[in-house]
Structures are given as structure tokens and as C-alpha cells.
Amino acid sequence: MQVNFHGAAGEVTGSMHLVEAAGKRILLDCGLIQGSPEAEARNFAAFPFDAASIDALVLSHGHIDHVGRVPRLVMAGFRGPIYTQRATADLLPIMLMDSASLQENEAERSNRKRRPGQPRAMPLYTRDDVREALTQLRPLEYDAHTQVFPGAEINFRDAGHILGSAIVELRAEGKTLVFSGDLGMKGTPILRDPVSVHHADLLLMESTYGNRNHRERSDTIQELGEILDAAWRDGGNVLIPAFAVGRTQELLYWFARQWNDWDMSRWRIFLDSPMASKVVQVYDRHHALFDAEARAVWHGTPNPFRLPNLRVTESAEESMSINRIHGGAIVIAGNGMASGGRILHHMRQCLPKRQTRIVFVGYQAEGTLGRRLVDGARWVRIHGHDVRVNAHRHTVGGLSAHADQQGLLDWYAGFSPSPPLVLVHGEDLAREALAGEISERHGVQATLARPGMLIEV
Ligand code: ZN
């Protein structure tokens, strides 16, 4: 068995690893590269392998940086089955249709600026391409050891990262390859904790927060409450760029849990992401995957997804109308790194105002607007306009859907004996720090994946 690294090898997006085992080629993840326009242009490049030669695709979870190039793979000739956890299979149409719409809009915008005779921009893929790709989906349950080819079996374990997220175990040729996918934090609301896996001959492990520990969740929740309080006193709005799956549900969960403590009923809360209401329905369908505490909250009052002052805005007009509210509104809008989506027009309105509070609740990749804001930019460019940033910025790290350094180390310590490992899905500083810790504690030298690197199991 061998693994070839083609994405999220030295960065945190574009997850894609090619496994050759039992005479077959199995691709793990097929994610979109996200970040700067230059980085995203790489999504248009040909795959570094013949897509038609891939026998099966296995998707760890529904985040777009893990699944966003699936339609491209099908367009390039991939005809095999796409295995994924059942809840992920339900999230995929929402994620990929949204991605296709963004791509179509982007191409259309670019074409409007082109002169007659200039070549026309093509979207990365269209909604029709997505429909085509989805016909190849094969949903599986957790812990349902499944033979994908004679001599090759996959098994999904709960990764506790978002609904349906999976750690992938791949057994072939007498060896076990474990791919962590993205690992969640222990104690993340709604979700169960990541399953501890004990055996691997080779481990591919994510390392997004390999050099950092999140704060205690209770401190984070207290801080969030204080930010909301201060925002209320200042009379401004609160903008939260949020990933449509995971973080958004967690925020609503906390609003419900802290309903009285935070006096949440005084706010107008907007969920300004058309994807979100669809994702809520998927969560509702899969509440059997929730942890016990979340199941209890779901049956209490108020229900996190049905807060009495929550408005789910669907149309663009409704979204724009939020801009007329100058205070007392909490606006949760995509996308999470402010690299596109409705959050941009809210930011354009609200960033110049001192009483605005921008709350980042997740990882901001290099090259994104979110990252520039987190890094303290005084001016940013949005929709072709220079925008002065006077708003307060807060990074609330403890809500991350990713395990922190301690979480990753604890998960790795669950293996016996300590397997050789390749660190993926992390920037170099994070990976080097994590590799150092693992070497010190377990005497195992981690390999840092590089694009094109080949590793024999
Ligand atoms: Zn993820």
C-alpha cells in the first residue's frame, strides 16, 4: 500500500491523498483549495493523476476544503463510487450546490467585465455537474466495515468535528491506514467526542492547530457573553462570519443554553446564510448522532434552531435589509473566512463603525479577508471598495471545530504501539510544533507531507 500526497500538504485546504492498495486506486478527500485568488486558481489545474484511473473516492466529511473538487473529478472522468458517512452524504448536495452557485456567479461577474471577443470565463463547475457527481454517492454508517474491493475494506469512526465527520480506516494487503480527517475537540457541543483509534500501520493526521491550545471552553463562552454584553451597551451590531456547518449550529446552541444569562431575548438574531436552514434540517434528521447532552437540549426550551427572535433570511433582498439595522442585531453569515458570501456586504457596512464587533469563531486561512482582519489590517478591500476598519475585532478560539495541540496529542496517544505518521492539513509552523511534541513524547519522527510526496506503508 502506498500514499501519494496531492493536497493539504503544507496548507489547510484542498485535502486530497491518493492511496494505491490491492491493485486499486482510492482517493481520500477531494477538497477545494481556498484562500487568495492565486491559490484558488489552482482548482482549475488538471489533477496530478488521471481521474478516470481512480477506482473509488472516500470523503472524510462535508467541509468544502475536503469535498469541493468532487464535481471536477467527475468532469475529468472519475466514474467510481463515492463513499461517505450518511449524514455527510446528506450535507454534500447543500455544500456542493452552494459552491457551484458561487462558481457560476464568479464566472458571470468576470464575464460582464470582459470585452466582446475576449475568451469567456468558465465556472469551476456548475450545479448540473454537481447533480451528476452526486449520483455516485454510497452512504455508509459509522462502524460498518465495508469491502470496497476484494482485499480492501473501509470503516468510518466518528471524528467529532462536524455532523457526519469520519476518521477513515482503510485495510488492505494486511495493513491498516488511518486517516484522521479533521478531528473535533472533546466536549464540543452537539457532537460526540472523537473516537479513540488504537491501531494503524500508517497514520495521516491533521495538524491545523498543531502549535496551539484553545482556551477552556468555559472561558470562551464567558468571553462570548461579555462581547455580546459590550456590543449591546455600545449599541452596535455583532457580525459573526461562520461556517455554515458546525460553528453556526454551535453558536445557536450556546444562545439557547445561555438564553437567560446572556439576556438573549433582547437581540434580533439573523442567520443570513441560505445554506444554514437546509443544514438545520440535516442535523434534525440525524439527531441520533448527537451526544446525550445535546439530545436533552433539543427537547428543551428554547430549541437552538427555533429561537423566538431568530430570523433565517433567504433572499438577497432580506439580507440587504439587515444593513438598515444599526444596532442590536447579531448577524451570523457565511462564509467563515469572509472570502465570499453575504458577510461581505455586512462587513462593508459595519467595519467603519466603531460600535461594530466582528467575532471570528474559526480558523482564518492565509490570504483570506478574515485573516487580514485578524492580523489587524486598518484598511481592507471589499467588492472593489476600500473600507476603513474601525470595528472591534475578537477572535474566539475555543469554539473551534478542530482539536487543539493537546487534543491531537491525546488522540495520538490512544494508538498502541505509536504508529509512524504523516502530518497533513496544517501550515508548517503548526506541523513542526506538533512533530516536535510527538517526537519528544513517543520517539516517533513525524513526516510533513509535501505535494507529490510518496510514502510506502
Ligand atoms: Zn473540516
pLDDT tens across 85-128, in order? 999 999 999 999 999 998 999 899 889 988 888 889 999 999 99
Please tell me the distance between residue 402's alpha carbon and the centre of ligand 1 in angstroms.
Answer: 8
Question: What residues flank ion ligand 1 with Cβ within 5 A?
Answer: 63, 182
The residues with which 422 forms a beta bridge, in sequence order, are 204, 447
328 C-alpha to ligand 1 centroid (Å)? 31
Task: Return the closest-CA partner of residue 203 out of 412, 431, 400, 428.
Answer: 412
Q: 218 CA distance to ligand 1 centroid (A)? A: 23
What's the chain's length in residues?
A: 457
| The 238-241 sheet, strands edge to edge | 310-312, 268-272, 329-333, 238-241, 357-360, 392-395
- Rounded distance from Cα 295 to ligand 1 centre (Å): 23
Cα dist from 132 to 68, 69, 83, 319, whole Å = 14, 13, 15, 31
CB of 393 closer than 8 Å to CB of 212: no
For residue 108, what pLDDT is reported?
93
In angstroms, what is the span from residue 244 Cα to ligand 1's centroid?
11
| pLDDT per residue as tens digits for the range 160-179 | 999 999 999 999 999 999 99
Mapped onto helix, strand or coil, the DSSP state of residue 125 is coil
Domain ranges of the chain: 2-212+401-456, 217-399
Rounded to the nearest whole angstrom, what is the distance from the C-alpha of residue 148 to the centroid of ligand 1?
24
Q: Choose the CATH number for 2-212+401-456 among 3.30.420.40, 3.60.15.10, 1.10.8.620, 3.30.70.1090.
A: 3.60.15.10
For ligand 1, the distance from its centroid to the CA atom of residue 54, given in whole angstroms, is 23
> 182: CA distance to ligand 1 center in Å?
5
Look at residue 168 and give its three-state secondary structure.
Answer: strand
Task: Pull the grid cell for residue 101.
Answer: 452557485
Distance 248 CA to ligand 1 centre (A): 13
CATH 3.40.50.10890 for the 217-399 domain, yes or no = yes
Query: How does DSSP assign 40-53, residue by residue?
Result: HHGGGSPPSS-GGG
Low-confidence ranges of the chain (pLDDT < 70): none
For residues 95 and 91, what is the distance between their CA atoms, to the nearest angstrom? Answer: 6
7-98-41 Cα angle (round to 5): 40
Which residue, among 305, 295, 238, has the nearest Cα to 266 in the 3D structure?
A: 238
- Neighbouring C-beta atoms of residue 116, cutoff 10 Å: 4
In a 3-state reduction of DSSP, which class is residue 274? helix
* CA 412 to ligand 1 center in whole angstroms: 18
Q: State in Å: Cα 437 to ligand 1 middle.
A: 23
Q: How far is the CA of 138 from the centre of ligand 1 (A)?
A: 20
